[in-house]
Amino acid sequence: MRHEFLAETILRDNVGFNIKNIFGKTKREMVTWDNKNDSAKEPKNFTAQYITMNHPDVIYSGYNPVLDCYTAHIAWKFSELKEKIDRGTGKTTKANPKCLKKGDAGIVTIV
């Protein structure tokens, strides 16, 4: 693990940090923020990289999947299919695709 200062992060950066003298007081999935300047807020939407692994049909904008993240089991909606991307390189192969099918990867907006 490298311990370097980062002035800015971009898409696909994985950032971690250490906090001293709070052993045993934190748990996995806790959220941190600067409570003096900006409190944590629930996002209205977010952009995610999505891979259709095993789905019997095609995925269209407006599709309502159930996403599992750790212990959360939540229904969301794909409001926009932004890009279809190559799974190996991550490069865009098609902008604003009509659908994603089994094996496809894409950038989607989730609400």
The predicted-structure confidence for 93-107, as pLDDT tens digits, reads as follows: 999 999 999 999 999
Q: What is the mean pLDDT of residues 69-89?
A: 89
Residue 102's nearest CA partner among 51, 28, 42 is 51
What is the CATH code for 46-110?
2.40.30.10
The end-to-end CA distance of the chain, in Å, is 33
Distance of CA 84 to the CA centre of its chain: 16
**pTM (whole model) above 0.85:** no
The predicted-structure confidence for 20-59, as pLDDT tens digits, reads as follows: 777 777 777 777 777 788 777 778 898 999 898 888 889 9
